[in-house]
């Protein structure tokens, strides 16, 4: 059952070939058997999941048409869930049980999907790796000595390890795309305002968004159809939405001839891109041209001011989770480092950074529009999946952050601009005596073009020949 995609599971349920209880029990057994290795879950909710599955089976027998009714999934532990412990990756919130749902969790529940629990995240979602205090690290099923990325690392490990067919994630600086890349999955950072971060989530600039992590583009599109609902009160509502479903776009997989710009020079100074990441980028460029698209070189116009401006905003956002003074010693060294930096930033400095971010957004989006580009192609990461403990080795948070920049220099730009960005596995790489590791590219669209990215992603998914491959775990 676990090798079925989410849509294949849905078809089996609606055809009566499987029951939701059977699916949920099967995946709970996999969690029990494998999660001590993968580090995907911080909370498992078997009793609630089985009750929901039994109710889904009753609804299915009555002809309930909801497409994803009865399918197991999981919610990232940065999203609040009513009655289910939400830790935000921190011992400060070890016993916190919210009384409300994040809109993404609510929408998935109303669609009939069944959460098996909460997936691991680093403290407050700050770094691009997932090694929460006192818990096993989230690792990629392709090589369990290497990290699953972050901050949706648990969601990536759970999906790639077949503990669920797809999972919810959030992305404030690459946190959906990075785990998708190192786990060989599809991950969509949605357009700012397409998916609600309410009622308690989000940030003032809307850098952090919710979106899907899945094994196939079609599964990601099916989850997005559930999540992409207008919610009153959203600060950045996306008013223009496609007339068709996202799944219909992914299933069509025949986008018009697109003009695609590409660049592989990192916007972070002195970062060297691994040859395997460049090879995947070049391979994708060739595939796109063979599919009939026009591929051209592109300069996004990014300046050295991008990084310090992002760091100012990120340091202030590290204060987005209240921490009582007496609990400060419980925080991870990296979290304290970011929060100390944020505390030193004045209100005028923060305002200046937000204004710079808006100006930069106009520059990035304007350059893409002026060049007549439908999509931009970049490497997804600058390095292959990193070993467990690689970022934190030595215990110096500043050095930890330097390693983060060297690992993922291409992602945060598009959190600032609010554009949709898709991580797509297209190739393989090795490092030393490692097994073959997944390598991905990033496709970036203009605001609201999530459907186009999914359509192009589905076309590339077939051309790259990734479908059906299974990790050793």
The model's confidence at residue 337, banded by pLDDT at 50, 70 and 90, is very high
What is the structure's pLDDT at 202? 67
Compute the distance between CA of residue 140 and CA of residue 37 in angstroms, rounded to an integer.
10
Mean residue pLDDT of the chain comes to: 96
The 10s digit of each residue's pLDDT in 110-140 is: 999 999 999 999 999 999 999 998 899 999 9
Half-sphere exposure of 270 (CA within 13 A, CB side): 4
Domain assignment present for 50: yes
Domain assignment present for 450: yes
Domain assignment present for 1: no
**How would you classify residue 180: left for phi > 0, otherwise alpha for psi between -120 and 50, otherwise beta?**
alpha
Residues 1, 91 contacting (CB under 8 angstroms): no
The 10s digit of each residue's pLDDT in 3-61 is: 999 999 999 999 999 999 999 999 999 999 999 999 999 999 999 999 999 999 999 99
What is the structure's pLDDT at 238? 83
Check whether the bond before 405 is cis (ω within 30° of 0): no
What is the structure's pLDDT at 200? 78
Domain assignment present for 63: yes
Half-sphere exposure of 62 (CA within 13 A, CB side): 9
Percent of all residues in the chain with a pLDDT value above 70, rounded to a whole number: 100
What is the structure's pLDDT at 242? 87
Sign of the Cα torsion 95, 97, 98, 102 reads positive
What is the structure's pLDDT at 236? 87
Compute the distance between CA of residue 471 and CA of residue 473 in angstroms, rounded to an integer.
6
Query: Is a pLDDT exceeding 80 seen at residue 239?
Result: no
Query: Is a pLDDT exceeding 90 seen at residue 241?
Result: no
Compute the distance between CA of residue 147 and CA of residue 405 in angstroms, rounded to an integer.
16
What is the structure's pLDDT at 68? 98
- Which range of residues forms the domain containing residue 21? 6-464
Domain assignment present for 469: no
Query: Is a pLDDT exceeding 70 seen at residue 248?
Result: yes
Domain assignment present for 472: no
Compute the distance between CA of residue 443 and CA of residue 262 in angstroms, rounded to an integer.
9
- Report the range of poorest mean pLDDT among 6-15, 138-147, 228-237, 406-415: 228-237
pLDDT average, residue stretch 294-320: 95
Domain assignment present for 473: no
The 10s digit of each residue's pLDDT in 172-187 is: 999 999 999 999 999 9
What is the structure's pLDDT at 398? 98
Query: Is a pLDDT exceeding 90 seen at residue 352?
Result: yes
Query: Is a pLDDT exceeding 80 seen at residue 240?
Result: no
CATH at residue 342: 3.90.1300.10
Domain assignment present for 284: yes
The model's confidence at residue 350, banded by pLDDT at 50, 70 and 90, is very high
The model's confidence at residue 108, banded by pLDDT at 50, 70 and 90, is very high
What is the structure's pLDDT at 290? 98
The count of domains in the chain is 1
Query: Is a pLDDT exceeding 90 seen at residue 243?
Result: no
Secondary structure of the chain as H, E, C letters? CCCCCHHHHHHHHHHCCCCHHHHHHHHHHHHHHHHHHHCCEEEECHHHHHHHHHHHHHHHHCCCCCCCCCCEEEEECCCCECCECCCCCCHHHCCCCCCCCCHHHHHHHHCCCEEEEEECCCHHHCCCCCCCCCCCCCECCCCCCEECCCCCHHHHHHHHCCCCCEEEEEECCCCCHHHHHHHCCEEEECCCCCCCCCCCCCCCCCCCEEEEEECCHHHHHHHHHHHCCCCCCCCCCCCCCCCCCHHHHHHHCCCCCCEEEECCCCCCCCCCCCHHHHHHHHHHHHHHHHCCCEEEECCCCCCCCHHHHHHHHHHHHCCCCCCCHHHHHHCCHHHHHHHHHHHCCCHHHHHHHHHHHHHHHHHHHHHHHHCCCCEEEEECCCCCCCECCCCCCCCCHHHHHHHHHHHCCCCCHHHHHCCCEEEEEEEEECCCCCCCEEEEEEEEECCCCHHHHHHHHHHHHHHHCCCCCCCCC
Active site residues: 76, 151, 175
- Report the range of poorest mean pLDDT among 159-163, 201-205, 223-227: 201-205
What is the structure's pLDDT at 380? 98
The 10s digit of each residue's pLDDT in 411-470 is: 999 999 999 999 999 999 999 999 999 999 999 999 999 999 999 999 999 999 998 889
Query: Is a pLDDT exceeding 80 seen at residue 256?
Result: yes
The model's confidence at residue 201, banded by pLDDT at 50, 70 and 90, is low
pLDDT average, residue stretch 339-343: 98
């Amino acid at each position: 059952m676990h090798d079925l995609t989410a849509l294949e599971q849905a078809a089996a349920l609606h055809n009566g070939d499987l029951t939701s209880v059977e699916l949920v029990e099967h995946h709970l057994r996999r969690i029990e058997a494998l999660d001590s290795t993968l580090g995907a879950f911080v909370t498992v909710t078997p009793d609630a999941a089985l009750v929901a599955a039994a109710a889904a089976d009753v609804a299915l027998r009555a002809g309930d048409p909801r497409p994803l009714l009865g399918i197991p999934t999981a919610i990232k532990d940065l999203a609040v869930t009513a009655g289910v412990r939400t830790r935000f990756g921190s011992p400060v919130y070890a016993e916190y049980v919210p009384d409300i749902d994040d809109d993404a969790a609510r929408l998935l529940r109303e669609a009939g999907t069944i959460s098996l629990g909460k997936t691991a995240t680093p403290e407050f979602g700050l770094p691009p790796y997932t090694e929460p205090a006192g818990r096993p690290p989230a690792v990629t099923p392709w090589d369990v000595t290497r990290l699953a990325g972050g901050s949706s690392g648990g969601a990536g490990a759970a999906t790639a390890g077949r503990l669920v067919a797809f999972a919810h994630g959030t992305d404030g600086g690459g946190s959906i795309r990075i785990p998708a890349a190192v786990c060989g999955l599809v991950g969509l950072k949605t357009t700012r305002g397409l998916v609600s971060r309410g009622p308690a989530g989000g940030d003032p600039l809307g850098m952090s968004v919710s979106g899907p992590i899945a094994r196939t583009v079609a599964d990601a599109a099916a989850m997005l159809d559930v999540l992409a609902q207008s919610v009153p009160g959203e600060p950045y509502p996306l008013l223009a939405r496609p007339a068709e479903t996202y799944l219909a776009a992914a299933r069509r997989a025949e986008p018009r001839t697109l003009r695609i710009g590409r660049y592989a020079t990192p916007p972070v100074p002195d970062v060297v891109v691994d040859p395997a990441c460049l090879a995947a980028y070049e391979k994708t460029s060739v595939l796109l041209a063979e599919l009939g698209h026009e591929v051209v070189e592109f300069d996004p116009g990014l300046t050295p001011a991008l990084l310090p401006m992002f760091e100012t905003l990120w340091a202030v956002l590290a204060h987005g989770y209240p921490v009582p003074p007496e609990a400060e010693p419980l925080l991870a060294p990296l979290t304290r480092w970011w929060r100390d930096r944020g505390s030193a930033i004045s209100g005028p400095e923060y305002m200046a950074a937000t204004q710079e971010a808006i100006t930069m957004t106009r520059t990035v989006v304007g350059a893409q529009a002026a060049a007549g580009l439908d999509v931009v192609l970049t490497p997804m990461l600058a390095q292959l999946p990193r070993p467990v403990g690689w970022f934190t080795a030595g215990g110096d948070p500043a050095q930890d952050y330097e390693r983060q920049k060297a690992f993922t220099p291409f992602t945060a730009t598009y959190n600032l601009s609010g554009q949709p960005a898709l991580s797509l596995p297209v190739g393989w790489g090795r490092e030393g005596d490692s097994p073959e590791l997944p390598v991905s590219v990033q496709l970036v669209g203009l605001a609201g073009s999530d459907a186009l990215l999914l359509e192009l992603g589905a076309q590339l998914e077939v051309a790259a020949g990734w479908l059906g491959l299974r990790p050793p775990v």
